[in-house]
Structure 1
Amino acid sequence: MADLAPTALRRATPADAEEIRAITRAAYARWVPVIGREPLPMQADYHEALRKHRFDLLLRGLHILALIETDLREDHLWIENIAVRPEEQGRGLSHRLIAHAEGLAREAGRGEMRLLTNAAFGQNVAMYERRGFAVTARADFLNGVTVFMTKGLA
């Protein structure tokens, strides 16, 4: 039986933009009927995002399984996006990417990570809470509710 475990983590390059876009669109597609529109990560320009943010890719061989997009800010590490190929979801890849982001934040001397998600993405909110994030605020946005979350790093 083939080993299904991810084998590597690497930084994305501009050449990865289209695959990042495809993975993100596939990962978020299930939420379109839930919120009645494409979530914002599905609409992003990933050529531009790669110029502004860090992307780390979780691979099996040369095949990209999942990604995390982060932005190092003055007092925290912002997680802009986590996307996992639909066929790879439920295998702990998001957890591995969040742990990687924790390492990036600590290495940069940041004591906190932050992110936001849509309240309608209940599974995601619960997953972040299991990883130690706490809801810090809620705000109305595009006929829905945005949930702001923070995780302190000891």
Structure 2
Amino acid sequence: MISQATSEYRGTVEEIVHEAYAKWIEVTGGKPLPMQADYAALIDAGTVWLLDSTDGLIVLVDEPDDGVLLIENVAVRPAAQGKGLGRQLLAFAEEQARHRGLTAVRLYTNEKMTSNIALYLAFGYRETSREVRDGRHVVHMRKDV
């Protein structure tokens, strides 16, 4: 099950994000953006969804003007990776997009996170563009739902 995170889970949310992204600090040359987010504000905004097992989460932001649901972050604890939880969270995002009357989901990632890019491609996402934003090389991806 996946439920909207509440403020009592903020510490758990921050812990999941830290565990999931710590390995990328050296690869990308700095803390990935999800490690710098204000999770108290994101939880209050109703955008953080947590696996009931507390092994993973997804942050979803409506972009209704574009008909898109932005996957701002998807994170799974390293000890729980390889069990299909990431796929479950991405499927949840697609379901949420359809439920909200949106036509696609999109996400972005650092181009140095090549294993994540390969995973998204395997799940049916396509690369739509690349850019340099604040010194970060960003790959934008999208999937129609």
Query: TM-score scaled by structure 2?
Result: 0.93
* 1:86 lines up with 2:92 in the alignment: no
Secondary structure, aligned partner of 1:104: helix
After TM superposition, the structure 1 stretch with the greater mean CA deviation from structure 2, 136-145 or 100-109, is 136-145
Which has the greater radius of gyration? 1
Q: Contact 1:70 / 1:77 at 8 angstroms: preserved in 2?
A: yes
Which of 34, 54, 57 pairs up with 2:50? Answer: 57
| Residue 120 (structure 1) aligns with | 112
Secondary structure, aligned partner of 2:127: strand
Q: CA deviation at 1:53?
A: 4.4
Letter in 1 for 2:88: R
Structure 1 distance, partners of 2:80, 2:134, is 29
| Residue 67 (structure 1) aligns with | 57
- Unaligned 5+ segments in structure 1 are 1-7
| Residue 3 (structure 1) aligns with | none
Q: Contact 2:50 / 2:57 at 8 angstroms: preserved in 1?
A: yes
Following TM superposition, the consecutive aligned residue runs of length 4 or more in structure 1 with deviations greater than 2 angstroms are 141-144
Q: Contact 2:6 / 2:44 at 8 angstroms: preserved in 1?
A: no
| Residue 28 (structure 1) aligns with | 21
Q: CA deviation at 1:117?
A: 0.3
Q: CA deviation at 1:51?
A: 2.3
Q: CA deviation at 1:107?
A: 0.7
- Unaligned 5+ segments in structure 2 are none
Letter in 1 for 2:55: L
Q: Contact 1:120 / 1:144 at 8 angstroms: preserved in 2?
A: no
| Residue 98 (structure 1) aligns with | 90
Which of 10, 25, 37 pairs up with 1:17? Answer: 10
Change beyond 3 A, Cα 1:53–1:73: farther
Letter in 2 for 1:46: Y
